């Protein structure tokens, strides 16, 4: 699959064109990069079967860009791109991770200070050289140092959403091969942690040697860290490590339990086992010399006198005490929100602004994935770069949505049963300004079904001011949902400084629903915040924030985080059917 490679070149081209002040083209390349990155089809296949015309069918890919993709697929090189790489011999991947460093700054830093990579940037900042440049100052030098720290902290870890599709395919390939009985992912992937250090895979088989041979022939790797009769460890060409272990079938449950982790959960569980007169290890649960329970995880937890603990909860944040029904957690573990239990998605952007697909395309795809309603929430006018809507454009879009809703053609609506009718709701992602006011008039907001509000600029404010700013927006009775409440974007931007407890209290007061944004980069609210919201009885909504039909699948990552935050179905409002969901919003607005 060459999609990531092609998307990367297009994204770099966008940056280079920005650096050289070429008008319009950078945005076109950016758009094309996003489209290729999120394309489920293999670009190479597409080109082989449909040629240049096929490439031009990718949303946002015009003739010029299609020709460059073709050049890359044919020759492995793109001339324009190579010329730029000579002109600017810098590590764009590294430098563009630094929050606040746009292409223009990267260019200036290279031309004036010969900064080529993160290390060079850090040296220049620490040496006090950056503050002397015309477009920088002491403050921006400080900000750069802070941003570098954040990048360093997340280096060596991968976004779950980036690695997950690959692991799914890997596991399926093994499950389908005749060589193994069982193949599963363990470790942080099975716990659905937001970032992953390495991939852990467990298999049971009668022929360990052959499985290891098969693994090494299947996976593209550049380093073999180690290989034994029942384990192998490699560094893949994609950049991450994979550990594979072969387990005897009789102890699969014990091995799975051990290698799922987390380490903290395991340490506590082992101590508990000792207190109860058992010994727990990756080889099984033992009473004296006798192995008592090992085949399944369920048995192990049961013998230890506790409820089964879902992998997403195994972080030693109270799940063991709850599973033992110890006070104050005597009611036991919550029934976590199931995967696949969402009925709607309340944050969707379209080609009315910076999305790739039309309203109808997004709706059809959502319906296909089993949803029964979505809200269209394009950006609003403060985000001029995206073509954000003003009041007039919103009105036009509302009309268009009415039109689509009333003409839903028979191929995606069961006419006899109105409940099967898919519904598109009118919404917007309005911008919260620096002072906490919104960029759309209340009168227009009142006409929308769903209003989400979010911060998109002026991230650097004091904790107090930022919290006040957001709370002011939440107090606007027209605001239904606070979108991506803490504003982080991994690995580049950390959450802004806010008092999350105060925001949760304000949500409680005003009835504002808090979003769990399911974009793998965002996952915002994150698990520990979700847990706080659950404890406070504040409602949440899990949204994909899709900018293309391919993004709707992100919802599962949102559910995973909600599960990690101990959320139940009742905590998440888009598990409701449409009528109940709308009633909930109405009650909220009346209450306000």
What distance in Å separates the CA atoms of residue 284 and residue 286, rounded to the nearest whole number?
A: 6
Residue 377 beta carbon to Zn ion: minimum distance, rounded to whole angstroms:
9
Q: Does 263 bind ligand DGT (CB under 6 A)?
A: yes
Q: Which residues bind to Ca ion, rule: CB under 5 A?
A: 187-188, 198, 200, 243
Q: Which CB, 3 or 431, lies closer to Zn ion?
A: 431
Which helix (H) or strand (E) is 466 found in, with range?
Answer: helix 463-475
Cβ–Cβ < 8 Å for 533, 525: yes
Nearest in space to 14 (alpha carbons), one of 4, 6, 23, 25: 25
The entry of Ca ion, Zn ion, ligand DGT, none near residue 463 (CB within 5 to 8 angstroms by kind) is none
Residue 118 beta carbon to Ca ion: minimum distance, rounded to whole angstroms:
25
Which helix (H) or strand (E) is 241 found in, with range?
Answer: strand 241-247
Q: Which CB, 454 or 576, lies closer to Zn ion?
A: 454
Q: What string marks each residue from 24 to 63 as x (binds Zn ion by CB under 5 A) or -?
A: ----------------------------------------
What distance in Å separates the CA atoms of residue 230 and residue 585, rounded to the nearest whole number?
A: 56
Strand, coil or helix: what is 56? Answer: helix
Output b/e per residue, 139-149; b: 16+ Cβ within 10 A.
Answer: ebbebbeebbe
Q: Which CB, 384 or 414, lies closer to Zn ion?
A: 384
Q: Which CB, 187 or 388, lies closer to Ca ion?
A: 187
Q: Does 312 bind ligand DGT (CB under 6 A)?
A: no
Cβ–Cβ < 8 Å for 333, 322: yes
Nearest in space to 530 (alpha carbons), one of 544, 521, 541: 541
- The stretch near ligand DGT (CB under 6 A) out of 117-125, 190-198, 203-211, 472-480 is 190-198
Q: Which CB, 187 or 491, lies closer to Ca ion?
A: 187
Q: Which CB, 101 or 490, lies closer to ligand DGT?
A: 490
- The stretch near ligand DGT (CB under 6 A) out of 109-117, 256-264, 374-382, 434-442 is 256-264
Q: Which residue has the CB atom at the shortest distance from Ca ion?
A: 187
Q: Does 315 bind ligand DGT (CB under 6 A)?
A: no
Q: Does 319 bind ligand DGT (CB under 6 A)?
A: no
The entry of Zn ion, Ca ion, ligand DGT, none near residue 266 (CB within 5 to 8 angstroms by kind) is ligand DGT
Q: Which CB, 319 or 515, lies closer to Zn ion?
A: 515
Number of residues near ligand DGT (by CB under 6 A) = 14
In angstroms, how far is CA 435 from the centroid of its own chain? 29
The entry of ligand DGT, Zn ion, Ca ion, none near residue 550 (CB within 5 to 8 angstroms by kind) is none
Query: Sign of dihedral through CA atoms 527, 528, 530, 534?
Result: positive
Among 26, 161, 187, 477, which residue interacts with ligand DGT (rule: CB under 6 A)?
187
Cβ–Cβ < 8 Å for 394, 353: no
Q: Which CB, 165 or 338, lies closer to ligand DGT?
A: 165
Cβ–Cβ < 8 Å for 485, 503: yes
- Determine how β-strand 373-376 pairs with β-strand 540-543: unpaired
Q: Does 150 bind ligand DGT (CB under 6 A)?
A: no
Q: Torsion-angle region of residue 128: left (phi > 0), alpha (psi -120 to 50) or beta?
A: left
Which helix (H) or strand (E) is 394 found in, with range?
Answer: helix 391-406
Residue 256 beta carbon to ligand DGT: minimum distance, rounded to whole angstroms:
10
What distance in Å separates the CA atoms of residue 369 and residue 363, rounded to the nearest whole number?
A: 10
Q: Which residue has the CB atom at the shortest distance from ligand DGT?
A: 261
Q: What string marks each residue from 22 to 61 as x (binds ligand DGT by CB under 6 A) or -?
A: ----------------------------------------
- Cα distance from N-terminal residue to C-terminal residue, the chain: 51
Axis crossing angle, helix 500-510 with helix 527-536, rounded to the nearest 10: 40
Q: Does 266 bind ligand DGT (CB under 6 A)?
A: yes
The entry of ligand DGT, Ca ion, Zn ion, none near residue 267 (CB within 5 to 8 angstroms by kind) is ligand DGT
Q: Does 267 bind ligand DGT (CB under 6 A)?
A: yes
Q: Which CB, 267 or 330, lies closer to ligand DGT?
A: 267
Q: Does 261 bind ligand DGT (CB under 6 A)?
A: yes
- Determine how β-strand 481-482 pairs with β-strand 513-517: parallel
The entry of ligand DGT, Zn ion, Ca ion, none near residue 29 (CB within 5 to 8 angstroms by kind) is none
The two tokens of residue 361 are: 């395309």
Cβ–Cβ < 8 Å for 164, 221: no
Sole residue written with tokens 């709707």: 552
Q: Does 188 bind ligand DGT (CB under 6 A)?
A: yes
What distance in Å separates the CA atoms of residue 190 and residue 336, rounded to the nearest whole number?
A: 15
Strand, coil or helix: what is 246? Answer: strand
Q: Does 197 bind ligand DGT (CB under 6 A)?
A: yes
Residue 191 beta carbon to Ca ion: minimum distance, rounded to whole angstroms:
9
- Determine how β-strand 344-348 pairs with β-strand 290-293: unpaired
- The stretch near ligand DGT (CB under 6 A) out of 117-125, 258-266, 413-421, 482-490 is 258-266
What distance in Å separates the CA atoms of residue 293 and residue 435, rounded to the nearest whole number?
A: 60
Residue 476 beta carbon to Zn ion: minimum distance, rounded to whole angstroms:
17
Q: Which of residues 441-470 bind Zn ion (CB under 5 A)?
A: 454
Q: Which residues contact 420 (CB under 8 A, 6 or more apart)?
A: 372, 413, 414
Q: Does 257 bind ligand DGT (CB under 6 A)?
A: no
Q: Which CB, 194 or 515, lies closer to ligand DGT?
A: 194
Count of positions (residues) in the chain: 592
Nearest in space to 375 (alpha carbons), one of 441, 442, 430, 437: 430
Q: Which residues bind ligand DGT (CB under 6 A)?
A: 187-188, 193, 196-198, 200, 258-259, 261-263, 266-267
Q: Which residues bind Zn ion (CB under 5 A)?
A: 454
């Amino acid at each position: 699959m060459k999609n990531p490679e092609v998307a990367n070149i297009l994204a770099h081209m966008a940056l280079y064109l920005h650096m050289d002040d070429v008008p319009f083209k950078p945005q076109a390349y950016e758009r094309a990069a996003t489209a290729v990155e999120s394309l489920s089809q293999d670009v190479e296949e597409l080109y082989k079967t449909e040629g240049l015309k096929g490439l031009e069918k990718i949303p946002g890919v015009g003739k010029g860009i299609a020709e460059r993709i073709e050049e890359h697929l044919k020759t492995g090189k793109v001339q324009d791109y190579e010329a730029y790489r000579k002109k600017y011999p810098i590590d764009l991947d590294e430098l563009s991770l630094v929050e606040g460093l746009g292409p223009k700054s990267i260019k200036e830093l290279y031309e004036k200070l010969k900064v080529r990579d993160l290390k060079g940037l850090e040296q220049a900042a620490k040496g006090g050289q950056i503050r002397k440049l015309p477009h920088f100052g002491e403050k921006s030098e400080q900000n750069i140092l802070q941003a570098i720290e954040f990048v360093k902290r997340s280096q060596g870890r991968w976004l779950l959403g980036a690695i997950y599709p690959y692991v799914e395919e890997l596991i399926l390939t093994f499950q389908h091969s005749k060589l193994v009985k069982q193949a599963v992912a363990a470790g942080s992937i099975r716990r659905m942690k937001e970032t992953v250090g390495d991939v852990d895979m467990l298999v049971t088989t009668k022929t360990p040697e052959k499985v290891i041979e098969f693994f090494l022939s299947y996976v593209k790797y550049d380093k073999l860290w180690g290989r034994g009769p029942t384990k192998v460890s490699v560094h893949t060409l994609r950049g991450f490590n994979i550990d594979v272990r072969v387990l005897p079938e009789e102890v699969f449950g014990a091995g799975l339990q051990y290698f799922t982790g987390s380490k903290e959960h395991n340490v506590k569980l082992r101590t508990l086992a000792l207190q109860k007169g058992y010994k727990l290890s990756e080889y099984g649960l033992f009473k004296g010399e006798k192995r008592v329970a090992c085949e399944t995880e369920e048995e192990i937890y049961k013998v230890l006198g506790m409820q089964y603990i879902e992998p997403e909860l195994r972080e030693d944040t109270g799940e063991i005490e709850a599973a033992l029904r110890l006070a104050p957690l005597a009611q036991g573990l919550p029934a976590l929100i199931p995967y696949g239990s969402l009925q709607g998605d309340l944050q969707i952007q379209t080609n009315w602004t910076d999305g790739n697909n039309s309203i109808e395309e997004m709706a059809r795809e959502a319906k296909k994935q089993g949803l029964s309603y979505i809200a269209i929430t394009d950006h609003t006018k403060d985000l001029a770069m995206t073509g954000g809507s003003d009041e007039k454009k919103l009105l036009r879009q509302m009309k268009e949505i009415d039109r689509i809703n009333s003409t839903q053609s028979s191929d995606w609506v069961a006419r006899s049963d109105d409940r099967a009718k898919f519904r598109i709701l009118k919404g917007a992602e309005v911008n919260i300004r620096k002072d906490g006011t919104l960029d759309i008039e209340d009168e227009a907001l009142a006409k929308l079904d769903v209003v989400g509000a979010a911060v998109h600029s002026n991230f650097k404010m004091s904790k107090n001011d930022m919290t006040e700013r957001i709370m002011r927006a939440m107090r606007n009775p027209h605001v239904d949902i606070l979108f991506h409440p803490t504003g982080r974007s991994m690995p580049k931007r950390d959450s802004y400084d806010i008092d999350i407890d105060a925001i949760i209290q304000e949500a409680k007061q005003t009835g504002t629903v808090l979003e769990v944004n399911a974009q793998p980069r965002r996952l915002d609210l994150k698990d520990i915040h979700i847990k706080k919201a659950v404890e406070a009885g504040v409602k949440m909504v899990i949204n994909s924030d899709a900018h293309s039909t391919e993004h709707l699948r992100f919802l599962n990552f949102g559910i995973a985080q909600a599960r990690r935050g101990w959320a139940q179905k009742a905590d998440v409002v888009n598990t409701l059917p449409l009528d109940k969901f709308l009633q909930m919003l109405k009650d909220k607005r009346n209450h306000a």
